[in-house]
């Protein structure tokens, strides 16, 4: 996967990861098919309608990297790409964060000829963040500048540290314990919420989200009955408060891309292979024990 032929699959993997993340639930404050949501203008349809345009933008970023065009070309195009994706969704720009992280990733991968170009991502992410920092077209952007929050810019400038060390490790851990891909995605979102400073949230709300997500994880999250019950409480609280920690979904999407790149695409989709969707704490085995094995252990997930 580290040759140019493998690089050209990256935009498709980002779009596939968006589908998997959106169709996995329940997720506190985020769009999925089962959760009460604070979003009145956004659902799975808005995400899916802009995927062809997202794919085109990421493919263009990849080609810029392959051609060794200067990073300023990407910086100049990101605002236009945002408009293109917004137009395609006929509503909110539901993938703004994914577009930024994916563009930095694809450009860096093309430049390096490597699907894991983390040093280049760090360099490109810092340059993009510096040049785009003062853009304040959105409420999130104005808060980021006012409070000096790193947010998604910081994730790119770190070389995708949260995606690599929190999201990916959580996805793999849940799958190894016998969880479904859907459950792994939900657990990853919770893990990201527990550490990220989401520029889309006011200060007190950010601290509340971090505290509540940690409480759910301490109870086992998706892996225990008690954790699932607490997760549903958190979901309903976010809907009631109209809280949406979107950055955690964006970072989990990158974590999924890394998962697909590392272990291939033989993992079951929560849409194509529904796991007998687990409900409000009812049913479902407790998989919190250390001896549980991954459902795909024979197909590569047992690898370190």
Checking if the pLDDT of 119 tops 60, the result is yes
CA distance 214 to 219: 9
Are the C-beta atoms of 135 and 92 separated by less than 8 Å?
A: no
- The answer to whether position 127 is within a domain reads yes
Residues 6+ apart with CB under 8 A from 237: 28, 212, 243
DSSP letters for 124-165: HHHHHHHHHTT--SSHHHHHHHHHT--HHHHHHHTTSHHIII
Residue 81 belongs to domain spanning? 4-273
CA distance 267 to 273: 10
- The answer to whether position 31 is within a domain reads yes
- Please tell me the pTM assigned to this model: 0.84
pLDDT in tens, 266-286: 554 443 333 444 333 334 556
Q: How many residues does the chain have?
A: 304
Checking if the pLDDT of 80 tops 50, the result is yes
More confident of the two residues 247 and 264: 247
Per-residue pLDDT at 264: 62
Are the C-beta atoms of 196 and 232 separated by less than 8 Å?
A: no
- The answer to whether position 213 is within a domain reads yes
Per-residue pLDDT at 93: 64
- The answer to whether position 266 is within a domain reads yes
| Residue among 177, 198, 206, 174 nearest 188 (CA) | 174
- The answer to whether position 304 is within a domain reads no
Per-residue pLDDT at 148: 43
Place of tokens 């860096």: 108
- The answer to whether position 284 is within a domain reads no
DSSP 8-state code for residue 222: G
- The answer to whether position 281 is within a domain reads no
What are 157's two structure tokens?
């400038």
More confident of the two residues 135 and 14: 14
- The answer to whether position 290 is within a domain reads no
Give the chain's domain count.
1
Helices (H), 90-132: 96-112, 118-132
């Amino acid at each position: 996967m580290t040759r140019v032929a493998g690089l050209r699959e990256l935009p498709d993997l980002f779009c596939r990861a968006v589908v998997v993340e959106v169709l996995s639930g329940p997720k506190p404050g985020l769009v999925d098919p089962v959760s009460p949501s604070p979003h009145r203008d956004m659902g799975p349809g808005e995400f899916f309608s802009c995927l062809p345009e997202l794919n085109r933008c990421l493919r263009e970023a990849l080609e810029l990297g392959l051609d060794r065009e200067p990073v300023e070309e990407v910086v100049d195009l990101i605002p236009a790409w945002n408009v293109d994706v917004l137009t395609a969704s006929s509503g909110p720009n539901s993938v703004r964060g994914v577009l930024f992280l994916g563009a930095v990733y694809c450009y860096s991968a093309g430049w390096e000829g490597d699907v894991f170009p983390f040093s280049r991502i760090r360099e490109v992410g810092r340059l993009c963040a510096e040049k785009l920092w003062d853009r304040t077209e959105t409420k999130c952007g104005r808060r980021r500048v006012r409070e000096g929050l790193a947010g998604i810019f910081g994730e790119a400038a770190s070389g995708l540290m949260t995606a690599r060390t929190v999201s990916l490790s959580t996805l793999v851990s849940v799958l190894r314990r016998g969880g479904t891909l859907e459950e792994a995605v939900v657990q990853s979102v919770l893990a990201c919420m527990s550490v990220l400073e989401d520029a889309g949230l006011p200060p007190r709300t950010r601290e509340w989200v971090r505290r509540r997500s940690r409480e759910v994880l301490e109870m086992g999250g998706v892996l225990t009955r008690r954790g699932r019950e607490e997760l549903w409480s958190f979901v309903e609280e976010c809907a009631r408060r109209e809280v949406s920690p979107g950055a955690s979904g964006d970072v989990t999407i990158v974590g999924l891309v890394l998962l697909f790149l590392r272990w291939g695409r033989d993992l079951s989709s929560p849409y194509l292979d529904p796991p007998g969707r687990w409900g409000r704490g009812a049913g479902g085995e407790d998989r919190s024990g250390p001896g549980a094995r991954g459902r795909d252990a024979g197909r590569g997930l047992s690898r370190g």
